[in-house]
């Protein structure tokens, strides 16, 4: 007594279906990620319900997701032994707007319900993405607490109607059969499917199994004859970051770092944290030991290497959403429990929860660099060599963490070892003699120009330390770093060196004596200088150029002139 019931999709579902199938063209492959993520959710739900009702998983306790294909029938099939659906649930979940993914999708489209192809491309669109590659989809499902006769068969061509039938299904869970459209035969390939599983679902915590591919059939022998397939797991099936720290050996951390791509070397350091609370998330963040190519080439556009997962499902590379630009060298994973899986990049950028996660990531990374500076000076020096100048951008970019970032920087100094950049601002402040207020520095376009500048003569004579800044970014950075630990940072070429009383008397005397000379030089140089003064800043050289407090450094002015500004 099987009766087929035909129903219409809710109007909005039909609308979504139309948009999805017509706009997702360049992102077809995400159907697999979406269906696997639903299967994984279904396994999660069953696992949870079985806590109260162990009978639900009796006899079949190992939750898994199977992906298979049939070249002759031109189908791709996903099967999970998760929670399954009752007839009412099928109607509610995949025939109406109730599904969370679809609702969010429509919300994101806004009032006009006009789909920007780009927006859709970045969207997960849930179950309906099946119709991007299939012109007919069959769902066979049986809820874990239902009898075999109470299974359901749902089928649709995705054009406005679907059918419902009763079905007898010996096993709980859901099977989804995609009857591929013409031209989608690419997906009838084990290698292709496996690579998609690895790309998008490697860290789904349930095994995603695929049939072991049989060796080519011998003559006259049908190798694929009726035998039940032998399954092998295609994904890693253990999300490393979900394990507890004490269970993860360093080698696993290192191997995982390499599996993220971009680097074949071991990382310099990592930090792994779980935050529980009103909002729960896990971060596993790495500092590379070597600069990757994109940074070496100065490229900023490709910011990969920080992956956003939502409940162990890979959502997108989200380095820009999760970290400020000056920490772009960080690699790793953020796994958020409470973000909608189908979130778009645009929505992410304004997401409050993400802001909190971002703040936590920045803090973790700065903590990690600080720890490296304390515990592993050599690794830290190598790290700064690779990324120190990138980090300096943070002085400009991240006001809130300016002091913390400044603390991490290292400079050459008149009391350091040659051009080696190893003196911290704390070192400097720690050895300031009583009575000295400013942290003195000089900028130049190279170590020699800085260290050999006549501006330093008076400071040397008085044994006052001066930091030597000669990286391209320093001038820009110093424009935003006015003080550290309550001490002002001052350029030796700007303003006047403060004098003690004896010096002051000597200088007044000298100034009087030299007054006629000064007048004569002024009249000779005329408009070319703002002022000519007798100065205490020199001991050996007869004269030097000085800058007023707000003047541009000479080498920067030269750079700008060269750039045609």
Question: Which residue numbers belong to the known binding site for ATP?
Answer: 34, 38, 80, 85, 93, 100-101, 122-127, 174, 345
Instruction: Kindly report the three-state secondary structure assignment for every residue of 467-506.
Output: EEECCCCHHHHHCCCCEECCEEEEECCECCCCCCHHHHHH
CB 34 → ligand ADP: shortest distance, Å? 6
CB 85 → ligand ADP: shortest distance, Å? 5
> Are the beta carbons of 205 and 239 closer than 8 angstroms?
yes
Stretch that binds Mg ion, among 8-16, 38-46, 265-273, 424-432 (CB under 5 A): 38-46
C-alpha count within 13 angstroms, C-beta hemisphere, residue 273: 15
In this chain, which of 94, 210, 240, 354 binds ligand ADP, going by CB under 6 A? 94
Q: Of all residues in this chain, which one has the CB nearest to Mg ion in the complex?
A: 126
Site track 121-150 with Mg ion (rule: CB under 5 A), x = hit: -----x------------------------
Contact flag: residue 416 with ligand ADP (CB under 6 A): no
Site track 312-351 with ligand ADP (rule: CB under 6 A), x = hit: -----------------------------xx---------
- Of the pair 44, 397, the CB lying nearest Mg ion is at 44
Contact flag: residue 390 with Mg ion (CB under 5 A): no
Neighbouring CB atoms inside 10 A of 425's CB total 22
Instruction: Kindly report the three-state secondary structure assignment for every residue of 117-169.
Output: HHHHHCCCCHHHHHHHHEEEEEEEEECCCCCHHHEEEEEECCCCEEEEEEECC
Is 387 strand, coil or helix? helix
| Assigned token pair, 17 | 């279906």
Which partner in ligand ADP, Mg ion, none is near 156 (CB below 5 to 8 A by kind)?
none
Separation CA 541–CA 63 (nearest Å): 81
Contact flag: residue 201 with ligand ADP (CB under 6 A): no
Separation CA 17–CA 286 (nearest Å): 40
Contact flag: residue 39 with ligand ADP (CB under 6 A): yes
Contact flag: residue 40 with Mg ion (CB under 5 A): no
Contact flag: residue 394 with ligand ADP (CB under 6 A): no
Residue that the structure tokens 């599904």 belong to: 99
Residues 117-136 that bind ligand ADP (CB under 6 A): 126-127
How far CA 244 is from CA of 177, 241, 253, 460, in Å, comes to 37, 8, 12, 55
Contact flag: residue 66 with ligand ADP (CB under 6 A): no
- Of the pair 139, 423, the CB lying nearest ligand ADP is at 139
Separation CA 284–CA 241 (nearest Å): 6
Which partner in Mg ion, ligand ADP, none is near 282 (CB below 5 to 8 A by kind)?
none
Separation CA 55–CA 92 (nearest Å): 26
> Are the beta carbons of 68 and 83 closer than 8 angstroms?
no
Separation CA 357–CA 159 (nearest Å): 40
C-alpha count within 13 angstroms, C-beta hemisphere, residue 323: 30
CB 207 → Mg ion: shortest distance, Å? 19
Separation CA 517–CA 512 (nearest Å): 10
CB 46 → ligand ADP: shortest distance, Å? 9
Stretch that binds ligand ADP, among 94-102, 232-240, 292-300, 510-518 (CB under 6 A): 94-102
In this chain, which of 21, 23, 38, 453 binds Mg ion, going by CB under 5 A? 38
CB 65 → ligand ADP: shortest distance, Å? 9
- Of the pair 92, 556, the CB lying nearest ligand ADP is at 92
| Chain centre distance of CA 128 | 28
In this chain, which of 16, 24, 30, 42 binds ligand ADP, going by CB under 6 A? 42
Stretch that binds ligand ADP, among 15-23, 35-43, 189-197, 280-288 (CB under 6 A): 35-43
Stretch that binds ligand ADP, among 97-105, 196-204, 368-376, 399-407 (CB under 6 A): 97-105
Alpha helices in 24-139 (DSSP H): 30-52, 87-94, 100-109, 117-121, 130-133
- Of the pair 45, 358, the CB lying nearest ligand ADP is at 45
Question: Which residue numbers belong to the known binding site?
Answer: 34, 38, 80, 85, 93, 100-101, 122-127, 174, 345
CB 62 → ligand ADP: shortest distance, Å? 17
Contact flag: residue 40 with ligand ADP (CB under 6 A): no
Stretch that binds ligand ADP, among 99-107, 284-292, 358-366, 415-423 (CB under 6 A): 99-107
Residue that the structure tokens 């071991």 belong to: 266
DSSP codes joined into one string, 300-320: -S---SEEEEETTEEEEE-HH
In this chain, which of 80, 263, 335, 471 binds ligand ADP, going by CB under 6 A? 80
- Of the pair 94, 451, the CB lying nearest Mg ion is at 94
Contact flag: residue 82 with Mg ion (CB under 5 A): no
Separation CA 361–CA 254 (nearest Å): 20
Separation CA 182–CA 168 (nearest Å): 31
Alpha helices in 338-376 (DSSP H): 345-349, 352-375
Separation CA 8–CA 12 (nearest Å): 11
> Are the beta carbons of 144 and 57 closer than 8 angstroms?
yes
CB 48 → Mg ion: shortest distance, Å? 17
Stretch that binds ligand ADP, among 31-39, 214-222, 250-258, 496-504 (CB under 6 A): 31-39
Contact flag: residue 99 with ligand ADP (CB under 6 A): yes
Separation CA 501–CA 491 (nearest Å): 22
Separation CA 490–CA 478 (nearest Å): 9
Which partner in Mg ion, ligand ADP, none is near 83 (CB below 5 to 8 A by kind)?
ligand ADP
CB 235 → ligand ADP: shortest distance, Å? 17
> Are the beta carbons of 197 and 54 closer than 8 angstroms?
no
Contacts with Mg ion, residue ranges (CB under 5 A): 38, 101, 126
Give me the residues that bind ligand ADP (CB under 6 A), please. Answer: 34, 38-39, 42, 80, 82-85, 93-94, 99-102, 126-127, 174, 341-342
């Amino acid at each position: 007594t099987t009766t087929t019931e035909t129903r219409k999709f809710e109007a909005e579902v039909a609308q979504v279906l139309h948009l999805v199938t017509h706009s997702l063209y360049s992102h077809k492959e995400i159907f697999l990620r979406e269906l696997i993520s639903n299967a994984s959710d279904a396994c999660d739900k069953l696992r949870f319900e079985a806590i109260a009702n162990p009978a639900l998983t009796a006899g079949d306790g190992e939750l898994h997701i199977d992906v298979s294909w049939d070249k002759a029938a031109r189908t791709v099939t996903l099967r999970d032994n998760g929670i399954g659906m009752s007839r009412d649930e099928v109607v509610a979940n995949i025939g109406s707007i109730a599904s969370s993914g679809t609702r969010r999708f429509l919300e994101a489209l806004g009032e006009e319900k006009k789909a920007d192809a780009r927006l859709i491309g970045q969207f997960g669109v849930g179950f309906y993405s099946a119709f991007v590659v299939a012109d007919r989809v069959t769902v066979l499902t049986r809820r874990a607490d239902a009898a075999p006769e109470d299974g359901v068969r749902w089928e649709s061509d995705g054009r406005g109607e679907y059918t419902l039938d009763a079905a007898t299904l010996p096993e709980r869970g859901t099977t989804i059969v995609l009857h591929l459209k013409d031209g989608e035969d690419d997906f009838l390939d084990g290698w292709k499917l496996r690579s998609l599983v690895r790309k998008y679902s490697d860290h789904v915590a349930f095994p995603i199994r695929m049939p072991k591919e049989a060796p080519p059939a011998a003559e006259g022998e049908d190798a694929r004859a009726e035998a039940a397939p032998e399954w092998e797991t295609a994904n890693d099936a253990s999300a490393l970051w979900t394990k507890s720290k004490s269970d993860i050996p360093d080698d696993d951390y290192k191997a995982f770092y390499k599996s993220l791509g971009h680097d074949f070397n071991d990382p310099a350091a990592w930090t792994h944290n779980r935050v529980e609370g009103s909002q729960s998330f896990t971060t596993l963040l790495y500092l590379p030991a070597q600069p990757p190519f994109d940074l070496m080439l100065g490229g900023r556009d490709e910011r990969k290497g920080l992956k956003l997962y939502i409940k162990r499902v890979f959502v997108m590379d989200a380095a820009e959403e999760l970290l400020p630009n000056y920490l772009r060298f960080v690699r790793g994973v953020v796994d958020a429990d409470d973000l909608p899986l189908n979130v778009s990049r645009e929505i992410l950028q304004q997401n409050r929860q993400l802001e909190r996660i971002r703040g936590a990531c920045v803090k973790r990374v700065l903590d990690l660099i600080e720890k490296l500076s304390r515990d592993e000076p050599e690794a830290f020096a190598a790290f700064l060599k690779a990324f120190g100048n990138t980090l300096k951008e943070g002085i400009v970019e991240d006001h809130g963490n300016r002091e913390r970032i400044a603390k991490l920087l290292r400079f050459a100094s008149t009391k350091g070892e040659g051009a080696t950049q190893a003196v911290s601002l704390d070192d400097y402040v720690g050895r300031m003699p009583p009575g000295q207020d400013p942290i003195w520095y000089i900028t130049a376009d190279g170590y020699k120009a800085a260290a050999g500048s006549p501006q330093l003569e008076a400071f040397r004579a008085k044994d006052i330390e001066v930091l030597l800044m000669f990286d391209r970014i320093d001038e820009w950075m110093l424009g935003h770093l006015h003080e550290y630990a309550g001490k002002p940072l001052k350029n030796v070429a700007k303003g006047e060196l403060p004098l003690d009383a004896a010096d002051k008397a000597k200088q007044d005397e000298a100034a009087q004596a030299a007054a006629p000379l000064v007048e004569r030089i002024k009249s000779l140089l005329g408009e070319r200088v703002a002022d000519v003064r007798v100065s205490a800043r020199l001991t050996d050289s007869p004269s030097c150029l000085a800058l007023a407090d707000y003047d541009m450094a000479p080498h920067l002015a030269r750079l700008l002139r060269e750039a045609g500004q």
